[in-house]
Amino acid sequence: MPTPDGRISRKTVLKAAAALGATPLLLGGGVALAREQAGSGRTLTPTPACHDGDEPTIEQTEGPYFKPDSPLRADLSTDGPGTPLTVGGYVFGRACLPIAGVLLDFWQADDNGAYDNAGYTFRGHQFTDAQGAFRLTTIVPGLYPGRTRHLHVKLQAPGRPVLTTQLYFPGEPRNATDTIFDARLLMNVRQSGPGQEGSYDVVLNVPQTPGTPTATPTPTPTGTPPGGSWTPGRTYAAGDRVTYSGASYVCLQAHTAMAGWEPPNVPALWQRS
């Protein structure tokens, strides 16, 4: 969409490229609303609009049901019955450039509006791909007293603070009475066969230089002994211990290590011990 001064945003250009197949909006196939517009002749307002000077996606309460140590997975659809739902989109920085390697940790209620506090049903985390895209396969969450329908998510770009927020569904009667609901967090949602498809693009408060691609940070040499040293590409489980630059860390949440996610930079994943 055009910016207030009439310029076309980088995000709009990127979405146009996605519509032409240059960059997949939804990993593994499927069509999100933002991509579908190219063949419909209709213009979709991005959610949220991302052009120079816009504010990042707003923060919202974590709520009482977050649990660390969720499994590394993007498909929660087999956790229980319900209306199929896929949610896809991009994660951008302040200059509307996509960010690779962003951690997204999702959790939600089941079809009956209940959260699994004993295990990890309808809980999972994933990372954005090289184009900054993500895709969640799940079900439409149920309702519980006092809240409208919503998804919870925590996001963290490499070396940056955690953003905790929620995503909402348009047309829900309880949107008008939910005191936490914010229309700026509404997804674009459409019916797709027996299920629903949604899209939402997150803007993180990550400084970027327009026109400069975002690169994955290179890990700093550790100089630590082999065996217990932190290693990019290795899968870690909660409770695993590593050394990095002479310090010891314990893993808080299962994940696959990658450059830019060195233990000192990601307190959501590693705690110094």
| DSSP per-residue codes, 189-244 | EEEETTEEEEE--EE------TTSPPPPPPPPP--PPSSSB--TT-EE-TT-EEEE
The per-residue pLDDT for 56 is: 93
The per-residue pLDDT for 36 is: 36
The per-residue pLDDT for 11 is: 52
d(CA 271, CA 269): 7
CB atoms within 10 A of CB 212: 9
Element containing residue 257 per DSSP (H, E): none
Closest-CA residue to 244 (of 258, 229, 259): 229
The stretches in the chain having pLDDT less than 50 are: 1-10, 13, 15-49, 51-53, 215-227
3-state SS class at 184:
helix
What are the Cα distances from residue 257, in Å, to 110, 200, 216, 219?
30, 26, 13, 11
The per-residue pLDDT for 182 is: 98
d(CA 268, CA 252): 7
The per-residue pLDDT for 53 is: 45
The per-residue pLDDT for 252 is: 87
